[in-house]
Structure 1
């Protein structure tokens, strides 16, 4: 897997959610929004086990995260010096905050797709999209403004966060991520089942009291 630098975790953004198809992006422009929807749909695709990241509202989750202090790295030390060649255990080593990583990363990704396939990422076949994502993850693709593997790392991490976080943050709609892994959610008490050696029998519950 790819990750030259460890990506700091994002901070939850709370608020009411809308259906993924109804969400109007606040951070991304139309071109970026098309990219995000297409990319997360391949990172966690819908299959026989259930809906994927796009259906779960992950694009909305990411868009909302990029309108929080997380997007500007407000609590990160950003004074340098930065040395991207040190081990990832030494922490984040680039002068870019998440909103810059997404803006620059999507621009580079789309330019790379145009150069290789003569299409936008959203216009590619599923097989071509998977090929592109694999090359970005491995660092074999050359981006102009930041490492391709760094952009992929953030995109994958935020996709996972959106798929498995509480629905209050915009993703995991219908608690599809929790249902997939049989996570009970925000139930007040499930300790009676911890030592039974049985599958937990009740569906997940969200912070707002919604039931799957």
Structure 2
């Protein structure tokens, strides 16, 4: 590590984001989001999953629907925070409620591959041949979380959620680089699903459990779900909007 990087670890992470597919700056294929990528930089201390949200009106969205073991949810939370960490630009995945967003998605149609062809044969396909696993998405996430915990215990003797940030990053890189053995699916595919789901939770409408207080949109200066732009569409000056959620129009 150079002297400059030692003096500015956050900047060294920003440099790493630019050069790697890992974390929020990487390419995302086939997900809800393809270009709304955050510019966050790695934070210092690892956080655990919050029990409640700061916005009492959204507390109904902070209840687990899929995960039965709190430990698995904490591992998921820790991983999402490393992918989209809190920094000077705004909150990270945990504060935005991303783990709850993923939990709710896994409990629904997305996690159960509804309206998708999921029968065999299950040959190992190319990167361009779509879903090629006998496992449903919720099973892939469960298997991936268990594999992360196994890697953590074998290499560091403690839970993934208790590791230092750099140690968590090391394990996540192994998944991204397909260096962790998993049955019926590659670790790289799981990592891609995890990263896509994390960014989806950052930028999805708060109605679905993530993007708490629309702060994900605010970091992008995205107006959210406005009912109409008819009054402003012909104006020449740039117009800033306070973000609006679907639930604001219910």
SS for the counterpart of 2:191 is: helix
Residue 48 (structure 1) aligned with residue 85 (structure 2): no
Residue 138 of structure 1 corresponds to 177
Give 2:70's match in structure 1, choosing from 23, 27, 30: 30
Superposition CA RMSD, Å:
2.6
Say if 1:52 and 1:27 are closer, same or farther in 2 by CA, change over 3 A. same
- Distance across 2 between alignment mates of 1:76 and 1:133: 28
Partner of 1:71: 111
Of 184-193 and 71-80, more deviation after overlay is shown by 184-193
C-alpha deviation, 1:36, in angstroms: 1.1
Distance in 2 between the 1:184 and 1:194 partners?
Answer: 17
Per the normalisation by structure 2, the TM-score is: 0.72
1:60 pairs, out of 96, 100, 124, with: 100
Q: 1:144 to 1:67 in 2, by over 3 A?
A: closer
Paired residue secondary structure (1:69): coil
**Is 1:105 equivalent to 2:139 in the alignment?**
no
Structure 2 gap segments, 5+ residues each: 1-20, 34-56
Using the TM superposition, give the Cα deviation of residue 49 of structure 1 relative to its aligned residue in structure 2, in angstroms.
0.3
Pick one of 163, 181, 186 that aligns with 2:225: 186
For residue 59 of structure 2, the aligned residue among 18, 32, 42 is 18
Map of 1:149 onto structure 2: 188
**Equivalent position of 2:120 in the other structure:** 80
Relative contact order (C-alpha < 8 Å, sep 6+): which is higher?
1
Distance 1:194 1:135, change over 3 A: farther
User: Under a length normalisation based on structure 1, what TM-score does the superposition of the two structures give?
Assistant: 0.84
Greater than 6 Å deviation, 4+ residue runs:
none
Question: How many residue pairs are counted as aligned between the two chains?
Answer: 200
